[in-house]
């Protein structure tokens, strides 16, 4: 699909906005128990996996820990879009309970993800979260997963080694700020130093994550932290990263070659997987409605199912909106793989 020539569907944009005006406010009775409950369940299951006497019980606890902590960490996406006055204290508590202990503080996403939603930057070289994966070589997809496996080690190095060293080595600090302080996909993207209130939040969040990382290194070297416990926790975080990579691979069609796109084109380059039970697990916190999120980025995650039903009912099964809906994760991964392999083979030779 050539996206650069797709004009905005004004009827879709107007209908989506009109049908969701009453859904804009985040509900604290949903946010707080969902985020904190997921985190507490995840940590409890990590402990269960560490202390279990049966490998099968340890495996079961580990799988639940991955799903629960995955859900808890994905609230970083909501924090990026939240009007924090409407949910006071949520960012602070989430960082204390989830972001800092997992070494994924919210500054790693805030200030970056919103650029991905900018009309003039989405899908271009200035988008920190976009690569034209469907147009790349097939080996790029396995590499995407291999990188995720090493995420726990990368976080410990970032916050336990590079972060502290960069405080006393200014040239290293610049590299750390630009290249190792964000959850970004685009290797050419360079982050700017934080300013104002965000810089103060960044300082405390980075300090907390560095204390966690240094403590892990110190406790492991001195033997206070058993290697078994470290490996279990690392395996859980790697599992979270792998699951997130799979979700990321199907969040978009990744077909833009660097041209600025209209809102409708961005929507069509994104995906909804609205049906079935499994998307609740691999794309929680509303991310199974990723195309809808690009259409209405300020909508709280708990409002997305209602918004989806309303728009489908209003627009019908043959509308522009329906073109962004897909049935399964497996089908989307297969589509992406087929696109990369077809491109690698090149055009068919005439007989």
Q: What is the pLDDT of residues 40-66, one digit of tens each?
A: 999 999 999 999 999 999 999 999 999
- Check whether 351 has a pLDDT greater than 70: no
* 222-230 contacts, C-beta under 8 A, 24 or more apart: 228/50, 229/50
Mean pLDDT of the chain: 92
Could you give the CA distance from residue 263 to residue 122 in angstroms, rounded to a whole number?
Answer: 9
Run of H or E residues at 347: none
223 CB-contact burial (10 Å; exposed 0-12 / middle 13-18 / buried 19+): exposed
Quick one: how many helices (H) and strands (E) in the chain? 17, 0
Report pLDDT digits (tens) over 116-139.
988 888 988 889 999 888 888 888
* Confidence band for 258, pLDDT divided at 50, 70 and 90: confident
Contact 321, 12 (CB under 8 A): yes
Contact 70, 284 (CB under 8 A): yes
Could you give the CA distance from residue 5 to residue 293 in angstroms, rounded to a whole number?
Answer: 22
What's the distance, Cα to Cα, between the start and end of the chain in Å?
A: 27
* Confidence band for 346, pLDDT divided at 50, 70 and 90: low
Could you give the CA distance from residue 59 to residue 43 in angstroms, rounded to a whole number?
Answer: 14
Contact 186, 128 (CB under 8 A): yes
Total count of residues recorded for the chain: 351
What is residue 192's DSSP assignment?
Answer: P
Contact 124, 111 (CB under 8 A): no
Distances (CA, A) of 34 to 68, 186, 282: 10, 31, 16
Contact 181, 159 (CB under 8 A): no
Structure tokens at 278: 């499994």
- For residue 126, the Cα-to-chain-centroid distance in whole angstroms is 18
The pLDDT of residue 349 is 38
pLDDT > 90: what percent of the chain? 76
Report pLDDT digits (tens) over 267-324.
999 999 999 899 999 999 999 999 999 999 999 999 999 999 999 999 998 999 999 9
Partner residues linked to 325 by β-bridges: 272
Could you give the CA distance from residue 186 to residue 125 in angstroms, rounded to a whole number?
Answer: 8
The pLDDT of residue 135 is 82
Average pLDDT score over residue span 209-232: 95
Could you give the CA distance from residue 128 to residue 121 in angstroms, rounded to a whole number?
Answer: 9
Could you give the CA distance from residue 268 to residue 326 in angstroms, rounded to a whole number?
Answer: 11
Structure tokens at 173: 């600090």
Report pLDDT digits (tens) over 152-166.
999 999 999 999 999
Could you give the CA distance from residue 299 to residue 249 in angstroms, rounded to a whole number?
Answer: 22
């Amino acid at each position: 699909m050539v996206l650069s020539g797709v004009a905005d569907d004004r009827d879709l944009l107007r209908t989506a906005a009109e049908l969701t005006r009453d859904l804009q406010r985040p509900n604290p009775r949903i946010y707080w128990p969902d985020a904190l409950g997921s985190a507490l369940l995840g940590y409890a299951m990590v402990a269960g996996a560490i202390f279990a006497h049966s490998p099968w019980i340890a495996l079961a606890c580990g799988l639940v820990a991955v799903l629960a902590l995955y859900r808890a960490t994905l609230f970083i996406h909501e924090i990026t879009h939240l009007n924090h006055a409407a949910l006071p204290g949520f960012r602070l508590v989430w960082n204390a309970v989830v972001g800092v202990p997992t070494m994924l503080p919210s500054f790693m996403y805030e200030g970056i993800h919103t650029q991905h939603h900018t009309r003039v930057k989405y899908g271009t070289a200035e988008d920190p979260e976009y690569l034209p994966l469907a147009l790349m070589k097939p080996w790029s997809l396995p590499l995407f997963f291999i990188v995720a496996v090493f995420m726990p080690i990368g976080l410990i190095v970032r916050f336990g080694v590079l972060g502290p060293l960069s405080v006393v080595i200014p040239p290293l600090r610049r590299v750390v700020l630009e290249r190792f302080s964000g959850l970004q996909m685009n290797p050419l993207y360079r982050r700017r130093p934080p300013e104002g209130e965000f810089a103060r939040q960044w300082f405390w969040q980075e300090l907390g994550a560095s204390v966690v990382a240094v403590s892990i290194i110190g406790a492991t070297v001195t033997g206070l932290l058993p290697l078994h416990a470290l490996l279990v926790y690392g395996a859980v975080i790697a599992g979270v990263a792998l699951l997130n990579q799979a979700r990321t691979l199907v969040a978009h069609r990744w077909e833009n070659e660097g041209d600025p796109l209209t809102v409708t084109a961005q929507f069509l380059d994104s995906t909804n997987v609205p049906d079935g039970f499994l998307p609740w697990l691999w794309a929680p916190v509303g991310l199974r409605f990723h195309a809808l999120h690009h259409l209405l980025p300020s909508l709280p995650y708990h409002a997305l199912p209602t918004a989806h039903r309303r728009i489908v009912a209003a627009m019908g099964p043959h509308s522009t909106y329906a073109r962004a809906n897909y049935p399964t994760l497996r089908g989307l991964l297969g589509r992406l793989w087929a696109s990369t392999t077809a491109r690698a083979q090149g055009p068919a030779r005439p007989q």
